[in-house]
Amino acid sequence: SEHTAKYKSQLLSGKRFADLTGGFGIDFSYIARGFDEGLYIERDERLCQIATHNFALLGLDHAKVMNGNSEEILESLPQLDWIFIDPARRDSAGRKVVAFSDCEPDVTALEKQLLQKARKVMVKCSPMLDITAAGRQLHSIEAIHVVAVNNECKELLFILGEEKGSKAPVTCANIRKDGTETFTF
């Protein structure tokens, strides 16, 4: 949603970032404003055409659209400040999935490669994901954000990087019309 995209855009900034799972480009269009260069990668050619059109209308002249499989493109990407990835949470039959290993791409299998290409990685996940289990599967968690809109949990965000600790801080953000409430523990 627009609200959660705005929230994410406040967490990421730098010179260059890539969205490995572009989709309709809502997250990308907000996050890209904090960077000099943004790479939008999407495997669906039609979504790439829509994104190219929309990014021009939004004045995102520094956006580069790439059509292809992000897992295959990842190796050829330049060094980045941030990678954003929102793995598909539906299986081949269209059923909802939650676990990292069931999503595409599987970020647990790509974690090391992602962090070789970028200083930081933001992984957007289902609000149904077990945070404790995720902590056992991902080895580079620096922070976790639980994002809600009007008291309804919408997504979990895992920030990966080199500065991981034994206990990553968890920030709960509730986005409301009158502002955002945040609690960190």
**Segment 41-54 mean pLDDT:** 97
Q: What is the pLDDT of residue 92?
A: 67
Q: What is the pLDDT of residue 105?
A: 83
Q: Which of 90-94, 132-136, 158-162, 164-168 has the lowest mean pLDDT?
A: 90-94
Tokens 């500065």, residue located: 163
Side-chain half-sphere exposure of 43, counting CA atoms within 13 A: 13
Residues 6+ apart with CB under 8 A from 83: 17, 18, 19, 20, 114, 117, 118, 120, 121, 122
Q: Which of 12-16, 49-53, 123-127 has the lowest mean pLDDT?
A: 123-127
Question: What share of residues in the chain are helix, strand, coil (percent, to 5)?
Answer: 30, 35, 30
pTM: 0.93
% pLDDT > 70, the chain: 94
Q: What mean pLDDT value characterizes the chain?
A: 92
The span from the CA of 114 to the CA of 159, in Å, is 12
Helix/strand/coil for 21 = coil
The span from the CA of 40 to the CA of 59, in Å, is 15
Residue 35, pLDDT > 90, answer yes
CB atoms within 10 A of CB 134: 19
